[in-house]
Structure 1
Amino acid sequence: MAKKILLNAFDMSCVGHINHGLWTHPRDESITFNGLKYWLNLAKILEKGLFDGIFLADITGVYDVYQNNLDVTLKESVQLPSHDPMTLISAMASVTTHLGFGVTVNLSYEHPYPLARRFASLDHLTQGRVGWNIVTGYLDSAEKLFGRKALAEHDQRYDKAEDFLALCYKYWEHSWENGAVIQDKKSRIFTDPKKVHAIDHQGSFFESQGVFQVSPSPQRTPLLFQAGTSERGVTFATRHAECIFIGGGNIAEVRKNVQRIRKKAFEHGREPESIKIFVGITVVTAESDVQAQQKLIEYRQYASPEAGIAHYSSSVGKDLSVYDEHERIPYEKSNSITSVNEKFKHQEITLNSLKEQHVLGGRYPLFVGSGKNVAQQLIHFFDETGIDGFNLTRTVTPESYEDFIRWVIPEWQQQDRYKKTYISGTLRHKFFEKGQFLNIQHPARAV
């Protein structure tokens, strides 16, 4: 039986997320993102469409590299303003039953204890539907907000992340035994003291002693996401992550990246298929191919390729505005997103080619066509690359999600490549169908 496709909506608590400029489209509702009504409506739409989850991106800092200022970022609302995504989850969980919530939190600006406590609390409140996308940051502007001069070196940020997670695992997995909470009113014992233990952590970056305040949540540890694709990032991700988000590209490039991840996971003593791999995509679809192309033309009238370049400049840590339209942009080592910056080493990239790539203001692979056509394109991409699912980014919201639900998902279901109903259980169980807790091979189980 062919493998079924996993699907997350990819979004952010802001106006301009990936496909920039489309907030100006008359049917786009993202300018109301600062009200709960917008998010509650979106959560209900996604659950009705049987999405596995909503993956909420986030950044700490601002995109101020392009033209060495914030002008384009502010005018086009390039992830500015943006809100803390964790504040949305309880509300969206209250109007849904199955939808999962993957939320990005940058551990470079957190302490393990309060963050572990927030995630455990959310896991309780959502009945086990929460996941953590672990990031270490890449913006100098974030460091300045915290009174620091510049980012720590790339690999050092991952060293700190290793210690951060080791401590979180102790809180989530080892402070409270299973069955510690009794809730016996007659004997007046809520928790068995013999089954609760103080942890003692003396790490390279963090120290902590004491009992974790939150009793074991449905998943104990939230479902773990990561998106590192540098050599150090892949090493970290394949040690810890249960789901990895990778960049798109052609089928051969993505397949090579998938194979690299699975090989590295095996080297860490994990089953290669114990990691679900997702690719970010943009889709424009309608009833027919002609209508989809017309919709793309319409969307392009509102998109801002320049805003996409402003975003991209901060991703690679270099001001791309200083280059002529057709001048090859040279590779320069930076402390930003290594996997994105490395492309300048091997590809002839110009400002003009980047603008062509950012026709909808974003750089994710674009699939256009009727529901049947797009469904087949995505199935082919899925089967040929060996990925496990897609993170579908928005264009015009919520229209783009509604279009996908109306036109693409039924085509997948007809070919038995997508579920027709949710299974019960936690987010981890829905993804892996192997129970609510971390796989026994995961390093957290042995801390």
Structure 2
Amino acid sequence: MAPNLNFTQSQFDVASLGQCNVESPLQLSTVPGDGRCDFTFDDARILYEPRFRTGEAICPLSLEHAGPRQKIFFDPAKVKAAIVTCGGLSPGINNVVRTVVLELIHNYGVPQVVGIRFGYEGLNPAVGRPPMSLTPEVVENIHHHGGTILGTSRGPQEANTTVDFLVSQGINILFCIGGDGTQRGSHAIAVEVARRGLKIAVVGIPKTIDNDIEFCYTTFGFATAVAEAEVAIDRAHVEAKSVDNGVGLVKLMGREAGFITATAVLASGEANFCLVPELPLELHGPHGFLAKLKRRLQARSHAVVVVAEGAGQHLLKEIAGADASGNRRLADIGYFLKEQIESYLKAEGVPTSVKYFDPSYLIRSLPAEAVDSLLCERFARAAVHAAMSGRTDLLIGLWHNHLIHVPLTTSTGLKKRLDPESELWTSVLSLTGQEKW
């Protein structure tokens, strides 16, 4: 999707707790080319839109480059940091927790890091459990396991209550790992901190398996999810080809964005239909999905259909309300499609066998694979550097493969969507041929 050029430069200004006067303990360099890794200059920027046509003016919008600063705000010896994980599971959460702990303790010399238990509930002593101590020994092997060692939950707590808790515990850095709902909560905390004039840094680390966070080309867990989803599609293909007129139907994650579904379809190469939330799903009529599926079966005797959980919701009875994170509740498009396929083909006199796969929770609970493990390292270290430099009320983003600081006021409430004019979706259509049936 083309970037939104309606932003102003002031929307990319990052909040700071104050002047950085403490020398960083990191043994880095300020001289490029001396064989040592360099500090990141405070005025280093990443262009918001690097693409341009010859003769066009270059868009001057830019974002702050993330990285270690030579001068930091906090005296590491006086820091007590906390980490909270919120929302649904995603591969790599434990990796992020581990790297944050090790970077703070081993490299910055921070004496104490604690983990907030079971999401934002743990910031409210009336409902939550006490924090747990996070030491290098505690986090030593957690990156080999899925889930989160800290536990998770959905929904916010009152900002007054959470800030009271941070103050009572002597916590002056809070890392919030989660998606858009989590980051709305972290922004509310940062606003209350600023209102009171406190010196507490609040830094968000984006987590969403759907890969739908704006200002973040790829979120951790996405590559692992795609790899496992590919396996499910391949198995569905085996089932479909093993019987006459077999249909393998796979439902994948993607409430409002079809990135996992589209990317997994490309990775597998075995799907014939890819249905995503960004594009309307027409079931009936000569150009509807069901008629196309029938023609596919008549021509090839099998088909594989992959659908994102948020696709086709207009066809289903709306479920009232939202979950604790503020997400609207979705009806089950997978079972609905299975019933529609079976009843339609039966009425058309086409015998079929539909095998339905829903690997969503199996995928979410996996440990991170190598690509995601590396991405977790990058996000976590950048978050630590940002916090130690006194930057606050921000999200770590990934823009043109560079880590950046994005103010939460700008990043929250925005969702990235699959662009029907993108190379990704064009490739899906070329592979599946679903528009030709």
Instruction: Tell me if both proteins adopt one fold, taking TM over 0.5 as the criterion.
Output: no
Higher-helix-fraction structure: 1
Task: Tell me the TM-score normalized by structure 1.
Answer: 0.27
Q: Please say which structure displays the higher CA radius of gyration.
A: 2
